[in-house]
C-alpha cells in the first residue's frame, strides 16, 4: 500500500513542483505591493485582475480542451499540424475581436469598474496582455500533449521571473506606480509569446479548416459556464467588495487572501499527484480502504499547516528584510480572516478527494453543475455577509463556496463509489485545531507557548496513529 501511494508519474511531479515554484515566486510580489502601493492602488490592480480572469475564460471558450481532445485522437502528423494550426488561427481571430472591443471601450470599462475614466490606459494595456496570453494558450497546450513538461514549466518560470524583475524595476527604481505593474505583465507576456512560438514553430502551417472549427466550438463552448463559475468562485468576492465597500478594503482583503497561498499550494500539489493516482487505481475494496486512509492523511497534514500558519502569521509578517515586511502596515488588519481562507482551501482539497467515484462512473457532466451551484452560494453569501461583517464576511462566503463544493461532491460520489472515511479521526483533528486557533485569535499567547502547543498537537497526530497505512 505504501509503495502504491508513492507510485506517481514523473510528469505530474514536474508540473506539480513547477506550479508550486511559480506560485512562490509570484508570492514575492505581495511584500512589494503592500509596502509600496496604497490599499486603494492595490485594490484597483485587484479589480482589473478579476476582470482579466473572467475575460481569460471568454478568450479561451474551451478551445484548449477541444484542441487536446482532437489532437490526441489523431496519429497522423500532417493532420495534427492541421488541428494545431486551425485551433491557433481560430484563437487569433477571436482574440483580435475581443481585444479590439476592450481597447475601444476602455474608457467605459474604467468608468464601470471605478466610476472614473482615469484608468482607461490600464484597460488598454490589459487588452494587449489578454491578446498575447490567449495566443500562447494553444501552443502551451501543445507542449502538454507532446509531453514536454520541462519546456512548459521553464517558460512559465521565465514569465513569472520577468514579471517579478520588472515589478521591482518599475515600482522601486522608476517609481511609476500602478502602470508599472501592468507594464511588467505586458513585457512578460511578450517574452512568453515569442518563446512559445519558437518552441511550437514546427507544428505550424497556414490553414484554417472549417470542419475542425465546428468540432472545436461544439465541444469547447459547453465548458464556458463551468469556467465562468470557477473564476466566480475564486474572484467574485473582490468585485462584490468593491461595489459594497471601496478600493482600500479590496486591497487589504486581497493581501490577506494572498496569504492563503500556502494552503492553495498544498491542495494544488496534492491534486497534481492525486488525480493520475486514482485514475490508475482499480475499483475494489482495497482501493476504498486506501482512499479513506489518503483522505485522513490529507486532512491531517492540511490541518497542521492551518494551525501553524494561523499561530505564527502575526510574528512572520512583522519580520523586516531590507526595510520590507511581508505585509505593509496598512494591510496588517487582513491577518484576522486568513485562517478562514486557509480553511476554505482545505475544503477545496477535500473536494479533490471526493472525485474518484464521479470519474470512475464517467459522470463528470455533474461537475459543472456542482461548481455553478457553489458559485451561486458564494455570491449570495457575499451579498448577505459583507454589509454586516465586511472583509470577514467575504472570507466566510469563500469558505461556504468551497464547503458546498466538497459536500455536494461527497454525497454524489458516495452513491457511485462508496468509501468509508475515517470521520471520527477527521472530526477529532479538526475540532481540536479549531479550538486552538479560535483561542489564539481571542487571547494573547507567547511565541514559546504557541510553539509548545504545535509540537504537542503534531505529536498527538502521529503518536496516536491518526495517520496510519
Whole-number pLDDT of residue 5:
43
Whole-number pLDDT of residue 207:
77
Residue 426: HSE in the Cβ half-sphere, 13 Å Cα cutoff: 16
Nearest one of 352, 343, 371 to 271, comparing CA atoms: 352
Contact 385, 397 (CB under 8 A): yes
Say what angle helices 10-27 and 261-279 make with each other, to 10 degrees: 170
CA 101 to mean position of chain CA atoms: 27
Helix, strand, coil percentages (3-state) for the chain, rounded to 5, are 85, 0, 15
Whole-number pLDDT of residue 145:
81
Whole-number pLDDT of residue 190:
97
For residue 395, the SS3 value is helix
Whole-number pLDDT of residue 79:
83
Average pLDDT, integer, range 252-262? 92
Out of 6-10, 32-36, 73-77, 309-313, least confident range: 6-10
Cβ atoms within 10 A of the Cβ of 387, count?
A: 10
| Cα distance between residue 74 and residue 77, in whole Å | 8
> Burial, 313: exposed, middle or buried (Cβ in 10 Å; 0-12, 13-18, 19+)?
buried
Whole-number pLDDT of residue 13:
66
Strand pairing category for 324-325 and 320-321: antiparallel
Cβ atoms within 10 A of the Cβ of 403, count?
A: 19
Mean residue pLDDT of the chain comes to 89
Whole-number pLDDT of residue 113:
93
Contact 171, 231 (CB under 8 A): no
pLDDT above 70: percentage of residues in the chain = 96
Residue 24 pLDDT exceeds 50: yes
Out of 98-107, 147-156, 238-247, 374-383, least confident range: 147-156
Under the banding of pLDDT at 50, 70 and 90, the label for residue 99 is very high
Residue 8 pLDDT exceeds 70: no
Residue 2 pLDDT exceeds 50: no
Cβ density class 104-127: b for 16+ within 10 Å, e for less? eebeebbeebbeeeebbebbbbbb
Average pLDDT, integer, range 231-255? 92
What is the domain partition of the chain in residue ranges?
2-7+226-463, 62-220
Cell representation of residue 421:
472515511
Cell representation of residue 162:
520577468
Whole-number pLDDT of residue 421:
92
Under the banding of pLDDT at 50, 70 and 90, the label for residue 468 is low
Global confidence as pTM: 0.88
Cell representation of residue 354:
471526493
Average pLDDT, integer, range 103-115? 94
DSSP 233-246: HHHHHHHHHHHHS-
Under the banding of pLDDT at 50, 70 and 90, the label for residue 466 is low
Amino acid at each position: 500500500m505504501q509503495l502504491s501511494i508513492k507510485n506517481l508519474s514523473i510528469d505530474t511531479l514536474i508540473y506539480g513542483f513547477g506550479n508550486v515554484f511559480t506560485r512562490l515566486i509570484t508570492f514575492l510580489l505581495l511584500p512589494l505591493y503592500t509596502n509600496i502601493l496604497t490599499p486603494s492602488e492595490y485594490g484597483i490592480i485587484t479589480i482589473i485582475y478579476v476582470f482579466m480572469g473572467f475575460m481569460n475564460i471568454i478568450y479561451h471558450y474551451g478551445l484548449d480542451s477541444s484542441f487536446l481532445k482532437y489532437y490526441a485522437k489523431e496519429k497522423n502528423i500532417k493532420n495534427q499540424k492541421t488541428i494545431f494550426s486551425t485551433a491557433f488561427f481560430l484563437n487569433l481571430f477571436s482574440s483580435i475581436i475581443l481585444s479590439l472591443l476592450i481597447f475601444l471601450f476602455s474608457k467605459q470599462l474604467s468608468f464601470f469598474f471605478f466610476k472614473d475614466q482615469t484608468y482607461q490606459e490600464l484597460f488598454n494595456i490589459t487588452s494587449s496582455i489578454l491578446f498575447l496570453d490567449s495566443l500562447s494558450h494553444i501552443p502551451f497546450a501543445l507542449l502538454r500533449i507532446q509531453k514536454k513538461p520541462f519546456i512548459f514549466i521553464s517558460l512559465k518560470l521565465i514569465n513569472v521571473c520577468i514579471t517579478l524583475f520588472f515589478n521591482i524595476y518599475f515600482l522601486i527604481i522608476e517609481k511609476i506606480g500602478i502602470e508599472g505593474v501592468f507594464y511588467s505583465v505586458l513585457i512578460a507576456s511578450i517574452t512568453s509569446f515569442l518563446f512559445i512560438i519558437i518552441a511550437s514553430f514546427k507544428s505550424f502551417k497556414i490553414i484554417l479548416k472549417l470542419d475542425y472549427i465546428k468540432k472545436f466550438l461544439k465541444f469547447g463552448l459547453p465548458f464556458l459556464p463551468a469556467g465562468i463559475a470557477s473564476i466566480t468562485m475564486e474572484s467574485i468576492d473582490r468585485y462584490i467588495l468593491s461595489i459594497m465597500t471601496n478600493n482600500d478594503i479590496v486591497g487589504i482583503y486581497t493581501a490577506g487572501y494572498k496569504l492563503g497561498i500556502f494552503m492553495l499550494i498544498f491542495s494544488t500539489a496534492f491534486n497534481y499527484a492525486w488525480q493520475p493516482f486514482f485514475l490508475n487505481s482499480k475499483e475494489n475494496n482495497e482501493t476504498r480502504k486506501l482512499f479513506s486512509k489518503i483522505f485522513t492523511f490529507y486532512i491531517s497534514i492540511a490541518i497542521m499547516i492551518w494551525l501553524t500558519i494561523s499561530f505564527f502569521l502575526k510574528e512572520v509578517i512583522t519580520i523586516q528584510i531590507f526595510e520590507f515586511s511581508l505585509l505593509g502596515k496598512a494591510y496588517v488588519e487582513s491577518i484576522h480572516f486568513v485562517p478562514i481562507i486557509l480553511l476554505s482551501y482545505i475544503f477545496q482539497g477535500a473536494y479533490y478527494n471526493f472525485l474518484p467515484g464521479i470519474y470512475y462512473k464517467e459522470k463528470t457532466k455533474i461537475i459543472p453543475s456542482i461548481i455553478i451551484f457553489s458559485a451561486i452560494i458564494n455570491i449570495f453569501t457575499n451579498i448577505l455577509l459583507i454589509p454586516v461583517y465586511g472583509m470577514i464576511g467575504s472570507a466566510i462566503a469563500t469558505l461556504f463556496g468551497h464547503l458546498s463544493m466538497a459536500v455536494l461532491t461527497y454525497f454524489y460520489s458516495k452513491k457511485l463509489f462508496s468509501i468509508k472515511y475515517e470521520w471520527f479521526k477527521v472530526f477529532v483533528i479538526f475540532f481540536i485545531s479549531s479550538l486552538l486557533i479560535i483561542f489564539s485569535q481571542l487571547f494573547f499567547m507567547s511565541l514559546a507557548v504557541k510553539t509548545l502547543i504545535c509540537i504537542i498537537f503534531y505529536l498527538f497526530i502521529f503518536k496516536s496513529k491518526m495517520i496510519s497505512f
